[in-house]
Amino acid sequence: MTVAFDIGAKLGEGALWDWRHGLLVAVDIPAGRVILGDPGDGSTRSIDVGQPVSAAMLRGEHDLLLAVRDGFATLDLDTGGVEPLVAVEADRPANRMNDAACDARGRCFAGTMATDDTPGAGALYRLDEDLSVHAVLEGVTISNGLGWSPSGDVMYHIDSKAGGIDAHDFDMDSGALSGRRRLVDTDPAWGLPDGLAMDAEGGIWVAFWGGAAVRRFSSEGELMARLELPAARPTRPAFGGAELDQLYVTSAKLDPGQTVERDLGGAVFLLEPGVRGVRAHPFAG
């Protein structure tokens, strides 16, 4: 394990490998920053997007689609300019966007949560290529990790407060979900399940907030591996590197007054997982 980028994020999230440019993308949610890390020389570039930003996805050849407090926006990486695309939950000012990812057809799935973690106040939405937004799950508390099986017929989703990983039958043609079921009940002693990443074998890698570790589960829900981190609050893993054989993990700082020996929260870590990941799908709109 090494520190890939010491970005000093209060709430680092949204690890994403930009295979177009060979960069690691991360966000600092409350600071409204998108951070681009170059593993070649260790340098970083920070872009202020003007409001809290929770996740980034690839768009086109140069841009990023952002999940921001107010909905979706697009970021021009050449100029740093940010333009709003579509509002989400404009009638719920106490909510914000959280984790997000795109499926193989380029549709974006993104969840919301209340800023005070009100139970059931959030939802999971699908943003289609035509920029129409559709609610696909209601009554979510902290919508987090998203991923798909290698065949694309199962979608995994985490509601952190629900303490587990759910599996859904996924219709690739329509983007519809059905057959929701619990795949893994996580041990509360592990912390809260947060963001996830899929590997090429169908393994599900989950960061555990408060647990200082990333765990790998099989598609049948079996615990396969555990990788420790020097930070109590890892948030989201992402496979990266030219061969997609490296695992980057974003993290958050502890709250003021909390003390843990040598907690490096706020950095982006680099692990050697022993398996390869899959490329992130760009947004098609």
Residues acting as catalytic residues: 194
- Count Cβ neighbours within 10 Å for each residue of 159-172 and write b for 16 or more, e otherwise: bbbbbbbbbbebee
Compute the distance between CA of residue 97 and CA of residue 99 in angstroms, rounded to an integer. Answer: 7
The closest alpha carbon to 69, from 95, 43, 91, 108, belongs to 95
The single residue listed with the structure tokens 């765990």 is 215
* Angular region, 221: left φ>0, alpha ψ -120 to 50, beta rest: left
**Do residues 21 and 4 make contact, with C-beta atoms less than 8 angstroms apart?**
no
**Do residues 17 and 268 make contact, with C-beta atoms less than 8 angstroms apart?**
no
Partner residues linked to 73 by β-bridges: 66, 84
Residue 19: how many CB atoms within 10 A of its CB? 15
Q: What residue type is 269 in one-letter code?
A: F
For the record, the structure tokens of 260 come out as 């843990």
Partner residues linked to 254 by β-bridges: none
The closest alpha carbon to 77, from 129, 133, 18, 120, belongs to 18
CA angle 40, 280, 115 (to 5 degrees): 100
